[in-house]
Structure 1
Amino acid sequence: MSIRTSTTALALSVGAFCAFAQAEPASQDYMPITLKSASDQAQATGFFEGQSLSGSTRNWYAREHAARGPLWRYYKSDGTRHDTHSRENWVQGTILNYSSGFTQGTIGFATEVAAYNAVALLRDRESIAGPNNRTLTHSDGDPVDQWSKAGLANVKARISNTTLTVGRQSLDTPMIAYIGNRALPSSFQGVALHSAEFDNLTFDLGTFDRVSPRTEQSLSKFRSEYGALGVETDRASTAGLSYQPFKSLTTSLYATRVDDFWNQYYFGASHVLGDSSVLSLNTGLNYYKTVDTGSKKMGEIDNDTYSLSLGLTHQAHTLTASWQQVNGNEYFDYLHETNGIYLANSLLSDFNGPNEKSLQIAYVLNMAQYGVPGLKFNLYNARGWGIDGTHYRGTAYDVRGMDGETHYEWGFGTSYAVQSGPLKDTSIRATYTAHRASQAQADGSLDEFRVVTTIPFNIL
């Protein structure tokens, strides 16, 4: 189960449409590809002159309850294992980030280092029901009271508007992307190149051999989110571009190779039409093609998955309908500890079962129109059906018992971001989510209540 994602995913997928809302009609003008008139490197101020020291601290609390049979287990001090219907995690995660400025000259050099620290505020074995990816525990489920690691540690070289980054870094692409829905985010170890030499066209290249998980101190090899065999790979590489041909249209095209797992291809587009003060239409398309490669550690894969979303915005109100479909006898899969699933119906459940179809209806109310900027409310209902894994012939996915499975999910939440003052950009979000599944659908039937408060700060 992917929790981009849980209800945080809802904030991303639904909130993305709200971001398109304009105070005036969206321009449909064509934008020719033009070189940037200014060079970021030409404006470099120096290694120490451009340095900054900042960070954030996040209070992350979640309580889950299984609506049917127990979904989790914990170990008592005598070593006996017990089933439980509930799980509760409460963690304080803090990031302290140092970024130097770029040195001056044709080629500029810089560095970035971020220390991650987590403190377990709830330390009861039975409540935590670990090990899990929420609170770091020992193998017996006993929580680690507090721990730290280098979440980011890299050096950068820049020419003009093109930057090469080597080391542990954060990345956000459609298939290799950091996931930030816990107290601390994930990051990746490798090499990445980002080029933004044009006003409306950017390029990305990257190759990575390890991931730094959200709730682990050590680096890990890559593995898939839904694979049943636990197989690992040493490298994941990605390349792609983002292009804005019109002021109202943004597109992206990416390809990723995960050695001996799969080759995955992505196309995405978002378009806005109209005036949100009257009525605007926000359209989002995401498409993934996945095929096996190399030694086929994940077995044979031939999967086409897409989502299409249509959102209507009128002043403070946005109503969105999202259709998603999986064409393949296995899960639509992605890399564990990444947010590499830009599908509209990736919520508490990813709605990504073999041959699954799903529909989500979502509503967002932006209270800025009523004099309370920063305050939003949202609610949604999503249903998935037609899950059929009976035609799967491999061993990498546990799906052959799925025959006509169904599930549904609904949730509501509120968020507030402080607009000014010493706590500017501090955010608090509370969500409640309910998921109900048929017997063989893998996500289970559960309820979750979550409260997340994030406070950014600047020291230098």
Structure 2
Amino acid sequence: MSTYTPCGWRALALTLSTASIQPTMAAPQAEARGFAEEAGAHLMLRNGYVYRDNQDGVRDQSRWAQAFIASFDSGFSRGPVGVGLDAFGLLAVRLDTGKSRDDGDIAYFPTDSDGDTEEDLGELGIAFKLRISNTLLQYGDQLPALPVLSYDSSRLLPQTFRGVLLSSEEIDGLTLHAGRFTAQNDNNHSGRDVPGRELDSIELVGASYAFNERLSVALYFSDIEKVARKRYANIVWQLPLAEENTLEFDFDFYRTRYDRDYTRTGKGEDNSIWSLMGTYRRGPHAFILAWQRSIGGFENLDEDGQPVTHGYDFDFGDGGDANYLANAFYSDFNRKDERSWQIGYELDFADLGMPGLTWRTAYVHGSKIDTGRDGTASEREFYNQIQYVVPEGVAKDLSISLYGSIYRASRDLNQDLNEIWLFVDYPLDYP
């Protein structure tokens, strides 16, 4: 049982298209059958569309594109030390950009020197791997998915990182990680470390331990050079109540110490943020309540000289999904001193005769946000997500994922908007 599964809409994003290019340690080295014997090739065809209905007189935005996500993962050579490699190729082709040249934070494609959206985007990556017993060492281009370094999986193509990662499962129930990464490539760029998004280095170490099927814990640390040092803790506790009824509590905590080079305040600053989510499952139904609290942060000036505050910042070298808190949807509800609560519901239609169809809805409200101006601000979001995965037949595993948000915020906090994201994914595997 994973102890660090992202909550909110990122849980869907992580399942959409990139599982085939994330190396896993499925078996110990003693069971290795050979470099070629266990090799596999995969191709994900992904069609993505997004429409953003901006409010407050701002022009609407839309993007439509086709992506091809190809990967190859070898087996391991026989012997006490197994050797292998993984490779991937990413390609996205623009189909339509709507009426707006401004990409905003849709992040499908980069813009050229004239401010127009580019027509295509591509990337190649390779990683070498060594395995001894149940310990795996990888070096090269990777898609790390850890609480303090987690690639952004929410766009057309995944964010990638280059570095070294050690994973060990020598003790039953215990997973250890240690790594160092020195470059990143964002979802909407072909080159690494584009201006303003450079990664000097990030070092991490951590562990997760499952005491049994009902209780697990995790603890991770990271140091992002010239940016911040982070600590993360997680506890998941599941209580069986009756047949097909369970109650689960998921506690997540981040403690961040920002570097003075990042804050531009002349000193280091701190933020603590935590969330507690309770989920009651009864057959195909799940009822969710969550509370999230951000404490502290810092204030500086934006490019226009206006005050702007920061609470829990991420995606500055630690990945766009480095937020495993409960209330992470369009908004992350992670601003300075923000308090937020969530009420949600999930339904698995399999028990109703429609296997493969799931639905989730949530309402989140955040308040008492310190904006650096007079008074405080608030924000709220109504989120819906529906997904269908073909369970069998010629189109088996084809998935259609539709999710959207209605977001409203105080005038001095953020822009109101409504948005819809649609992904159609079709995986092809060989053998």
Aligned-pair CA distance for 1:402: 6.8
Aligned-pair CA distance for 1:245: 1.3
Q: TM-score w.r.t. structure 2 length?
A: 0.87
Shift in alpha-carbon separation, 1:161–1:297, aligned structure 2, 3 A: same
Instruction: Summarize the alignment of residues 49-448 of structure 1 with structure 2, pairs less than 5 Å apart.
Output: 49-70=37-58, 84=59, 86-123=60-97, 126-130=99-103, 132=105, 133-150=107-124, 152-220=125-193, 230=196, 232-275=198-241, 277-293=243-259, 299=265, 300-329=268-297, 330-336=310-316, 337-389=319-371, 400-401=372-373, 403-442=375-414, 444-448=415-419
In structure 2, the residue matched to 1:28 is: none
Shift in alpha-carbon separation, 1:174–1:440, aligned structure 2, 3 A: same
Q: Could you say what the CA RMSD is over the residues aligned between the two structures, in angstroms? A: 2.4
Shift in alpha-carbon separation, 1:285–1:119, aligned structure 2, 3 A: same
Q: Say which SS state the counterpart of residue 350 (structure 2) adopts.
A: helix
Aligned-pair CA distance for 1:147: 2.8
Query: Which deviates the most, 170-179 or 292-301?
Result: 292-301
Gaps of 5+ in 2: 16-25, 298-309
Distance 2:377 2:284 in 1: 37
Q: Say which SS state the counterpart of residue 347 (structure 2) adopts.
A: strand
Aligned-pair CA distance for 1:212: 1.4
Tell me if structure 2 keeps the 8 A contact 1:360–1:383: yes
Aligned-pair CA distance for 1:431: 1.9
Aligned-pair CA distance for 1:65: 0.9
Aligned-pair CA distance for 1:430: 1.3
Aligned-pair CA distance for 1:335: 2.2
Q: TM-score w.r.t. structure 1 length?
A: 0.82
Distance 1:182 1:402 in 2: 36
Aligned-pair CA distance for 1:123: 4.2
Matched, 1:48 2:36: yes
One-letter amino acid of the counterpart of residue 394, structure 2: P
Aligned-pair CA distance for 1:298: 5.5
Aligned-pair CA distance for 1:130: 2.9
Matched, 1:453 2:431: no
Q: Deviations over 1:73-132 (max 9, x none)?
A: xxxxxxxxxxx2x000111111110111111111111011100000111145x3352375
Distance 1:431 1:231 in 2: 28
Q: Deviations over 1:130-180 (max 9, x none)?
A: 375123331323222223211x31100110111110111111100101111
Identity of matched residues, %: 28
Gaps of 5+ in 1: 16-37, 71-83, 224-229, 390-399
Aligned-pair CA distance for 1:183: 1.1
Q: Say which SS state the counterpart of residue 412 (structure 2) adopts.
A: coil
Distance 2:158 2:175 in 1: 25
Shift in alpha-carbon separation, 1:298–1:175, aligned structure 2, 3 A: farther
One-letter amino acid of the counterpart of residue 354, structure 1: K
Q: Deviations over 1:373-395 (max 9, x none)?
A: 11111211110000014xxxxxx
Tell me if structure 1 keeps the 8 A contact 2:10–2:153: no
Q: Say which SS state the counterpart of residue 246 (structure 1) adopts.
A: coil
Shift in alpha-carbon separation, 1:130–1:95, aligned structure 2, 3 A: same
Distance 1:197 1:455 in 2: 35
Higher relative contact order (CA 8 A, sep 6+): 1
Q: Say which SS state the counterpart of residue 45 (structure 1) adopts.
A: coil
One-letter amino acid of the counterpart of residue 211, structure 1: Q
Distance 2:11 2:364 in 1: 11
Distance 1:452 1:248 in 2: 33
More strand by share: 2
Shift in alpha-carbon separation, 1:120–1:231, aligned structure 2, 3 A: closer
Tell me if structure 2 keeps the 8 A contact 1:262–1:290: yes
One-letter amino acid of the counterpart of residue 223, structure 2: R
Shift in alpha-carbon separation, 1:11–1:57, aligned structure 2, 3 A: same
Tell me if structure 2 keeps the 8 A contact 1:136–1:215: yes
Distance 2:410 2:33 in 1: 60
One-letter amino acid of the counterpart of residue 103, structure 1: S
Shift in alpha-carbon separation, 1:202–1:326, aligned structure 2, 3 A: same
Q: Deviations over 1:197-219 (max 9, x none)?
A: 12200100111111111111001
Query: Which deviates the most, 288-297 or 360-369?
Result: 288-297
Q: Deviations over 1:385-414 (max 9, x none)?
A: 00014xxxxxxxxxx237310011002231
In structure 1, the residue matched to 2:304 is: none
Tell me if structure 2 keeps the 8 A contact 1:7–1:348: no
In structure 1, the residue matched to 2:10 is: 9
Q: Deviations over 1:288-307 (max 9, x none)?
A: 00113475555522111000
